[in-house]
Amino acid sequence: MEYMSNHTLDTFKELLLEGLCDSDVLPRALEMVNAHCGAETTQLISVSDATFILDSAVEGTVDRDLFQNEQEYLAVNPRTRILASREIGRIIRDHEVADEETVATNAAYQELLIPAGVGQFAGTVLASDDSTVVALAIARPRDDGPFSDDSIARFSQMVRAAIPVTHLAGRIVSRQETSLLDMFGRQACVAILHKSGTVVRQSEQFEKLLASGVVRTDGLGRLDLLSDESNRDLALTLRGQSNAIGGRFSFARLRPECTYICSVTPVPPIGHFGARSGHAVLFIDKLTSVKSLDRNLLRQTYSLTSAECDVCERLYASQTVAEIATARAVATSTVKTLLKSIMQKMVVNRQAEIVIKSSRFAFDSGMSVPVQTNAGDKPYG
């Protein structure tokens, strides 16, 4: 067997280190893997908790349009066993994760892997931490047969060269992330988010916000603002217009003093090696001044009646349905009818979402009409 020269391996390591931080350079490193390992396709992939693709770069002959569905098939792809094992450096081939019956019946093989031209496979984990796995794999069409022992031996050489490089790149990225957060100061409530919404790194104040339950992360590590409307706003700012990340929005909890302004801004690529990557900084700032709603804006925006505006104000001020009924001198059923009408006009399903949408029209108390008891108002305005 012909081993690769030290010069070739050094060149590969240099390209890989640069490519792990620059998607324009990485293809050259992956092309070297194809050339020296008898592969037609090489993939570098970063996965969160073995269930969500953070980044993926593929070089070689592969149906790229079809391969965009990789995330869809991840849950049923037998090859993800190498990710779950987190065993760094051990090369696993197809016959170790799937027998002929699995290949013939598994949706990932039949609908994605074989049609995309990556029916034969060998791969390994390069790096792993508490939440993320980085793996390297080579592949070729099913009809070409398994990789030879010589090809696997050369792949093993490149893997041994890649492991310390991947570790070093991870340390560089970690320092970049830490430095970025430090720029905002110790008291800043700030986090670095992947464009999928996954929290990559957060400040101490942001950790406290998570611990308090104001926001949370889901099973995939993605930020959840506990409101469909707010989560849509977050997703829009992370995707941006024409992929231009950035934006500003607010969200609120059920007390007027718990309104937050979220500012999203793009940052230079961090550990950006594939087409799926992209990062942003999310800055959450709590509004501390007392706010009240602007009735005129509410009425104009949602065509609310005077009574409905009054209910919105009281709900925003943390009054319960019973308290609102008492203040307005009406039955609780009347308040519930008003709430139903408000939900229809605002196109929401929960009282909390009324507060969230109303909070967009909250200003300093001196700038809007204060809450008053309008016993003389008719129940329907």
Domain 183-287, second-level architecture: 2-Layer Sandwich (3.30)
State mean pLDDT over 287-312.
85
pLDDT attached to residue 254? 61
Q: Which residue ranges make up each domain of the chain?
A: 6-175, 183-287, 291-367
The whole-angstrom distance between residue 199's C-alpha and the CA centroid of its chain comes to 7
Whole-angstrom distance, CA of residue 39 vs CA of residue 61 = 9
Count CB-CB contacts under 10 A for residue 249: 18
Over 50: is that where the pLDDT of 228 sits? yes
The whole-angstrom distance between residue 291's C-alpha and the CA centroid of its chain comes to 32
pLDDT, one tens digit per residue, over 84-121 is 888 999 999 999 999 999 999 999 999 999 999 999 99
pLDDT, one tens digit per residue, over 316-346 is 877 888 889 999 999 999 999 999 999 999 9
DSSP codes of every residue in 353-372: HHHHHHGGGEEEGGGSPPP-
Over 60: is that where the pLDDT of 381 sits? no
In the chain, the amino acid numbered 85 is S
In the chain, the amino acid numbered 293 is L
Whole-angstrom distance, CA of residue 307 vs CA of residue 353 = 18
Which tokens in the block code for residue 240? Answer: 């941006």
Residue 369 sits at φ, ψ, to 5 deg, of: -75, 130
Nearest to 60 by CA among 32, 85, 84, 92: 32
19, 25 Cβ separation under 8 angstroms: yes
CATH of 291-367, one of 1.10.10.10, 3.30.56.10, 1.20.1090.10, 3.30.420.40: 1.10.10.10
CATH of 6-175, one of 3.40.1280.10, 3.10.150.10, 3.30.450.40, 3.40.50.720: 3.30.450.40
Could you check whether 6-175 and 183-287 share the same CATH topology? yes
3-state SS class at 271: coil
Whole-angstrom distance, CA of residue 245 vs CA of residue 265 = 6
Q: What is the dihedral of CA 239, 240, 246, 248, to 10 degrees?
A: -100
pLDDT bucket at 21, cuts 50 / 70 / 90 = confident
356, 315 Cβ separation under 8 angstroms: no
